[in-house]
Copies of this chain bind each other. A is one copy, B any other.
């Protein structure tokens, strides 16, 4: 049982998790395939077997991020189904899931939305964004059926909500968590009531 077997065994996922840690701790500029290989105890050419180039590794990280973000949103949805809460609370739950992910994975989120992915991967990423909006869309459609959301194209409404969440998440970089949550509740409430006096 040598220290470094010739076959690493799990190099691909080792590289991915190592890359994500580096991304979070030291930023995208510190990501180097050669350093990842060194950390994995493998030659600098070994990553090439699992990722055709550096961009392929970044693509995999981004897709992975969307999978986890989506899972987090679905969890928020499941929790709301159990509670019998109204649409505003439902949206707040989704908002907290989105912003929570953004604050815990700021650098990854930036990579997820980066405009530098290969075009085929960009399509997959765009689809992932679509899936995300679809979750908000469900909440909106349910809210409309319950009479708690105005009538009108639910896709357009969901797009507005998701835009707000994403913009808010982008702005709430390294803020205090409590302040952010208070601000977020404010934002969701404003979205519901609107800016025009009634």
Contact = CB atoms under 8 A, between A and B. Distances in A.
Q: Which of A159, A191, A196, A197 counts the most B-chain CB atoms under 10 A from its CB?
A: A196
A185 to B, nearest CB: 10
Interface residues of A, number: 49
B115 A149 contact: no
A107 interface: yes
A40 B131 CA distance: 45
User: What number of copies of this chain does the assembly contain?
Assistant: 2
Interface stretch (A64-72, A73-81, A167-175): A167-175
A5 interface: no
Given A115-B107, A115-B173, A162-B171, A194 B197 contact: no
Contacts of A198: 198
A195 interface: yes
Nearest to A129: B171
A186 interface: yes
30 contacts: A88-B196, A113-B170, A115-B173, A140-B195, A147-B197, A148-B196, A149-B197, A150-B195, A150-B197, A156-B183, A156-B190, A157-B195, A160-B186, A160-B190, A160-B191, A162-B167, A162-B171, A163-B168, A163-B170, A164-B167, A166-B166, A166-B170, A167-B168, A167-B170, A191-B191, A191-B194, A192-B195, A192-B196, A193-B194, A194-B195
